[in-house]
Amino acid sequence: MPLVNVVLALIVVGVLLWLINRFIPMQETIKGILNAVVVIAVVLWIVNIFGLMHYISQFRVGR
């Protein structure tokens, strides 16, 4: 995926999230959860695009 497409997708997601936060009335806790879910999804998407998901999946927690 070309870098221009990634940047455009990030801009579109950011503008959509801003529009939702600005013009759709909802509780602050719900907005916080929505923002966190979108940020986590975008970070995972970017990690997957750059091919780093394989390295992250090898991390072990605990025994």
Q: What is the pLDDT of residue 6?
A: 93
Query: For the residues 9-33, what does the mean pLDDT come to?
Result: 95
Answer yes or no: is 62 within a domain.
no
Q: What tokens were used for 59?
A: 């991390």
pTM of the model: 0.79
Q: What is the pLDDT of residue 2?
A: 87
User: What total number of domains does the chain contain?
Assistant: 1
Q: What is the pLDDT of residue 59?
A: 78
Cα–Cα dist 19/11, whole Å: 12
First to last CA, the chain: 37
Query: For the residues 29-51, what does the mean pLDDT come to?
Result: 93
Answer yes or no: is 34 within a domain.
yes
Whether residue 1 is predicted with pLDDT greater than 90 in this model: the reply is: no
Cα–Cα dist 59/7, whole Å: 28
Cα–Cα dist 36/21, whole Å: 12
Q: What is the pLDDT of residue 34?
A: 95
Residue 18 domain boundaries? 3-56
